[in-house]
Structure 1
Amino acid sequence: MVSAALLLPLLSASPSATAGHPASGTLQSAFTAAAERYGVPSGVLLAVSYLQSRWDGHGGSPSVTGGYGPMHLTDVRTALASAPHHSHGGEDARGDGSRPPKDLVGRELPEDSGLPPRLRTLDRAAELSGLPAERLRTSSAANIRGGAALLAQAQRDLGRPPSADPADWYGAVALYSGADDAATATTYANDVFDIIRTGERRTTDSGQLVTLPADPRAVPDRSQATGLGLRTTDAASTECPDSVACEWIPAPYEEFGEGDYGNHDKSARPASQSVDYIVIHDTEATWDVTLKLVQDPAYVSWHYSLRASDGHIAQHVALKDVGWHAGNWFVNAKSVGLEHEGFLVAPDAWYTEAMYRTSARLVRYLAKRYGIPLDRQHILGHDNVPGTTAATIRGMHTDPGPYWDWAHYFELLGRPVVPSAGPGSAVVTVRPRYGEHRPAYTGCVTAGRACAPHGSGAVRLHTEPRQDAPLVKDAGLRPGGQDSTIDVNDTGARASTGQSYAVAERLGDWTAIWYLGQKAWFHNPRTRPTAVGTRGWVLTPKDGSAEVAVYGRAYPEAAAYPEGVPVQAVAPLPYRLLAGQRYVVGDRVPGEYFFAPAFDTSKHRVVRGEELYYEIQFGHRVAFVNASDVRVFRS
């Protein structure tokens, strides 16, 4: 009778993940019912779900690794993509003219070795719960029940009885992670029990308020992890914080004929050059394929990969060395690249909380190590890295895209995007409400076709203060003067959470900012603002200057280059920063060029000039201006 009573609401009245707004308390009740049905403490079930999805159903759409619903039950066959991230467009990941560009367009992906169990948990949940796979994908209540069944089975597999004490479930939680190594499984379990001890309270994407009361007495027996039979990873060479699971899977530094080599450059950072940026990417490939690519000497490289399902980290390139990842050699030489397993547009691109958390811990560690400010002028998306010259702008990559939750990410970094000035401030920082802010995009699956509705941290920029006004133009992306579009990969009229801009004008519910040399309007109503007031430094052309040049890299003046190092052209981008316009300053940097044209590191040189540059938030991407051309002042 109890089983029938629990099954009835699952098959009838319980909320579908595609439903609009189920009755308040329904989701909380689903957690309680599933916990009772399988003898799992409700706190454990709630905390595991929070670490996977923050209790969101995502409208029944899978995550970047094919995980469904609040419990992230995986069926990765539904979310496999067909092209590697670094083959998109014409970007040369190295981004340096001292060597021929590495042509990756049309490159075939390595074969997947097979789908590991962590990517096939939905079928197992269907067997254990007796619920159809389709219900587990589309019903949040069914999905929660399937997750509870998996946890209960993990407890049985360990030979442990059901228990009302959360502390007795440490081993089962570690197994639920799906990790194949002990370090990742225990890190995952530690995160779950941190959530249990501190508690959580959140309104989900379906409008449901879910609460996990704090249980500070939930101290697990971590010795349970010793009997899991998982492999031990090689962490000896890694540079990671103790709070994450990290293994060393090195990228090769090898010659392979005709003077060519790969897939990164040896250096001596930070003694040779400062590390000023961290670049956030997504892989556009599965974990298995990602690791095969970065171990190919003829491919390109990045410093770390992060796995979506459990937050596991693999380091490939030593931090002192330079990876080929950002498409801009100046940025590469002064940055660390993090690739996150996932697909920008497949199909609604939600990332697990486990990956967000380990990524944030890694970034905090790197920022502290190198003194990198935790702001959006230094923590860049790949889509914020500028093209090096006018010819490279159109080929620059667009990940992690408009669905990456920058607001939540910066909360995890300990630097939430909050106002530091009043509503009439001269500078604003973009900050829409991610879950409720759902601008339309096209091109996620088919060119021109609408994407599934999804939360976004990006606002759209118009030429006038009205929704039907044309979008602002990007002279670099479209030299012919065509309008920007709402395609998911079109960054020409987009400003994202955390990016700060100088205010040009306000009119009713609309705010105009200076953007790519023009006035750009976005909807910013007082009752539901999409930006917050900010204090900061801004710059404008010096008095008497009608305009100043804008650059995609901060290279030294010609006189700084020693004999044997070819002078790199300081070519302006096809934009104009006009008198009277103001742009937010990110940093002041010296003109630098890392000359590394060959495998033999004895020929490497760092060229540093007298000329200084300011990094600015110019459009969706950052840019550089010559310090001698501008005047800087506090907004």
Structure 2
Amino acid sequence: MSLPRSAALLAAVALTTGLAAAPAQAATTDQRQRDFTAAAAEFGVPVNVLLGVSYLESRWDFNAGTPSTSAGYGPMHLTDVREAGVATTHHDEGTEDPRGDDARPALHPKAGPATPPPGLQTVDEAARLVGRTAETLRTDPAENIRGGAALLAKYHAGNTWYDAVAKYSGSTGDAARTFADEVYDTIKTGVARTTDDGQQVSLSPSPGTTVPQHGGNPANVECPRTVTCESVPAPYQELPDDDYGNHDLANRPVSQKIDHIVIHDTEGYWDNVLDLAQDPTYVSWHYTIRSNDGLIAQHVPTKDVAWHAGNWYVNAKSVGIEHEGFAAKGTWYTEAMYRSSAKLVGYLARKYGIPLDRAHIIGHDNVPGTIPSTIKGMHWDPGPYWDWSHYFDLLGAPLGGFGLPGSSLVTIDPDFAKNQPAFTGCDSPGTPCAPRGSEAVVLHSEPSEASPLLKDIGLHTDGTPSTMDVSDVGSRVATGQRYAVAEVRGDWTAIWYLGQKGWFQNPRGARVVKPAIGLVVTPKPGLATIPVYGRAYPEPEAYPANVTVQAITPLPYTLSAGQKYSSAGTVGSEYYSATTFDLADHVVVKGKLKYVQIQFGHRIAFVKADDVRLVPAF
């Protein structure tokens, strides 16, 4: 329910009063801080409003002049979709079957090009207002800030500053107000940080600022009150030839425990993606989150199983959340989307008892292939530019730092801004990506930058080493993941990874890992190697006569004696048989077999509990 207009105006008056009482920003020698102060004075915008809007868009970062997931450039997120370009949804790419179930024919949907919304073109008006070119506003941080200030001043004409901030979001209604609420909450609490290009910027707190609350969400969505959600239902519909789409009815968590939340990006723009979610012949996911303002659309009830992750076992035990964006183009994600997503994930984690760690809050790129033939086609979103460390800070569950120095278990946690692997292929195959902060740490086969990357025989079946292509996850680890230390030589550390030692630089004063505590698995005595699986399916004897037995097929890797891998806990074996439209035919098969989820490579994996010892890491 929306705030009445009179209430919104009263709230705006209160906010303006709070701003007037706020202390002036302290003088600073840092250029970006001075740029904000100068632009605010030039266009008559309260400096804390300008800083607050910019923080919710970009966290004051420049991002090397590259676009966000919604075509925004620079600290003020001025949008230019002509320059950013378009793409198709990632579900159309590769060979991954989003449902990921051998018992049903593979789904390979086609969606066509994504059409950008006309609202993603604010840079032209900003350029006109400040008398500069659109290119200048995209590439010059100071001029970008001037352009954003000019737009805010224009939106303020005849309105309150709260209204101007809401309009800056590019949205309307509750979504715009929620964006403005987040901005004003940031103004109230204050924030300071070092940007991705080394600028010290701060927003002093204004504790007297009043932050209104919007009227709540529709009764038919599962969302916290602190975000704006809408219902855009995915159809459960019969199709010709005894087919149906685009998800499966279930009764979770009564029938099956929900263990994971899977973070995706759309590789498409909001309107197109929502059209696809409503296509009965397409695939499905539970939520989509919009980039510019953090609006959430729910498509599938969390009790039901969506077809999103390419692995039926994971689908049956997860919630899938798509984020408007383009990992394939090396773009960055807005703070508004991070915050909205973190609030939703925190709500779902509390509701279903899902641990707030990187073994259970995973990316699509962490979902394993089901059998050897599906590994190569698995997707890799949200990509190496998703800031997992910041995301978990927003979740209130900071990553790492709990172990003792010298621990044999470590949490990957590089400095996101300073960690800039030389990836290729963001724009075209083989071309270098723009230098940008990343959550990914690249592994080498020897303690030397000149040594080849590791081999992933599931991805590169010809036995060649992995590459630096942005989509190649065969020799990289991700922030928050935990691995067992295999060896240390000077500034180099090796971890166990896909049955090999993976080396990375970890010098004093620039550590990329933190010591961790927890359990690791290792093969039981007498076992030279043990198989690794992409799903935790039951033994054949567990299946009733009317359900097809699913093969327990190992992946093409080996876990050898002496190697250790981080444990995420023991899980029971399950298979959700759901291959017809009629819910009465659906059966949850639960076996006696137990598995242990491990961090085996970039992706999670499973080993049989009977094959391993669980031991504390020291």
TM-score (norm 2): 0.93
Any idea what the Cα deviations from partners look like across 1:470-529, whole Å, max 9, x if unmatched?
A: 111111112221111111111110101000000011000011111111111111112201
Matches within 5 A, 1:102-117: 102-104=107-109, 107-109=110-112, 112=115, 115-117=117-119
Matches within 5 A, 1:400-439: 400-439=382-421
Residue 141 (structure 1) aligns with: 142
Q: For structure 2, which runs of at least 5 residues remain unmatched after alignment?
A: 1-27
Give the Cα separation in 1 of the matches to 2:111 and 2:300.
Answer: 23
Q: 1:586 aligns with which of 564, 568, 576?
A: 568
Contact 2:346 2:395 in 1 (8 A): yes
Please state if 1:179 is matched with 2:161.
no
Q: 1:67 aligns with which of 48, 72, 91?
A: 72
Identity %, equivalent residues:
57
Contact 1:586 1:616 in 2 (8 A): yes
SS at match of 1:408: helix
SS at match of 2:438: coil
Q: 1:335 aligns with which of 318, 326, 329?
A: 318
Q: Which amino acid aligns with 2:404?
A: G
Residue 259 (structure 2) aligns with: 276
Residue 616 (structure 2) aligns with: 634
The Cα of 1:218 is off from its aligned counterpart by 1.5
Any idea what the Cα deviations from partners look like across 1:210-245, whole Å, max 9, x if unmatched?
A: 11111101225x59x9xxxxxx99833110000100
Q: 2:50 aligns with which of 31, 45, 49?
A: 45
The Cα of 1:170 is off from its aligned counterpart by 1.5
Residue 229 (structure 1) aligns with: none
Residue 182 (structure 2) aligns with: 191
The Cα of 1:110 is off from its aligned counterpart by 5.9
The Cα of 1:605 is off from its aligned counterpart by 0.1
Contact 1:435 1:455 in 2 (8 A): yes
Matches within 5 A, 1:24-103: 24-103=29-108
The Cα of 1:40 is off from its aligned counterpart by 1.1
Any idea what the Cα deviations from partners look like across 1:358-399, whole Å, max 9, x if unmatched?
A: 000000000000000011110010000000000100010011
The Cα of 1:78 is off from its aligned counterpart by 1.9
The Cα of 1:467 is off from its aligned counterpart by 0.6
Matches within 5 A, 1:187-586: 187-219=178-210, 222=212, 235-346=218-329, 348-586=330-568
Contact 1:385 1:621 in 2 (8 A): yes
Q: Which amino acid aligns with 1:213?
A: S
Give the Cα separation in 2 of the matches to 1:334 and 1:501.
Answer: 24
The Cα of 1:59 is off from its aligned counterpart by 1.5
Please state if 1:123 is matched with 2:124.
yes
Give the Cα separation in 2 of the matches to 1:448 and 1:214.
Answer: 46
Q: 2:161 aligns with which of 169, 173, 176?
A: 169
Contact 1:236 1:248 in 2 (8 A): no
Give the Cα separation in 2 of the matches to 1:602 and 1:187.
Answer: 41
Give the Cα separation in 2 of the matches to 1:83 and 1:305.
Answer: 16
Give the Cα separation in 2 of the matches to 1:213 and 1:485.
Answer: 44
SS at match of 1:394: coil
The Cα of 1:48 is off from its aligned counterpart by 0.5
Q: After the TM superposition, which parts of structure 1 deviate over 4 Å for at least 4 consecutive aligned residues?
A: none
Contact 2:114 2:269 in 1 (8 A): no
The Cα of 1:301 is off from its aligned counterpart by 0.3
Contact 2:520 2:616 in 1 (8 A): yes
Q: Which amino acid aligns with 1:623?
A: A
The two structures, once aligned, show a CA RMSD in angstroms of: 1.5
SS at match of 1:146: helix
Q: For structure 1, which runs of at least 5 residues remain unmatched after alignment?
A: 1-22, 161-167, 226-231
Q: Which amino acid aligns with 2:208?
A: R
Residue 14 (structure 2) aligns with: none
The Cα of 1:79 is off from its aligned counterpart by 1.9
The Cα of 1:274 is off from its aligned counterpart by 0.5
Contact 2:99 2:107 in 1 (8 A): yes
The Cα of 1:150 is off from its aligned counterpart by 1.2
The total of aligned residue pairs comes to 590
TM-score (norm 1): 0.91
The Cα of 1:77 is off from its aligned counterpart by 2.1
Contact 1:234 1:248 in 2 (8 A): no
Contact 2:400 2:480 in 1 (8 A): no
Give the Cα separation in 1 of the matches to 2:328 and 2:252.
Answer: 35
Counterparts in 2 of 1:134 and 1:80: CA distance versus 1, 3 Å? closer
Give the Cα separation in 2 of the matches to 1:217 and 1:313.
Answer: 29
Counterparts in 2 of 1:407 and 1:206: CA distance versus 1, 3 Å? same
Give the Cα separation in 2 of the matches to 1:425 and 1:234.
Answer: 46
The Cα of 1:172 is off from its aligned counterpart by 1.4
The Cα of 1:24 is off from its aligned counterpart by 4.8
Contact 1:32 1:42 in 2 (8 A): yes
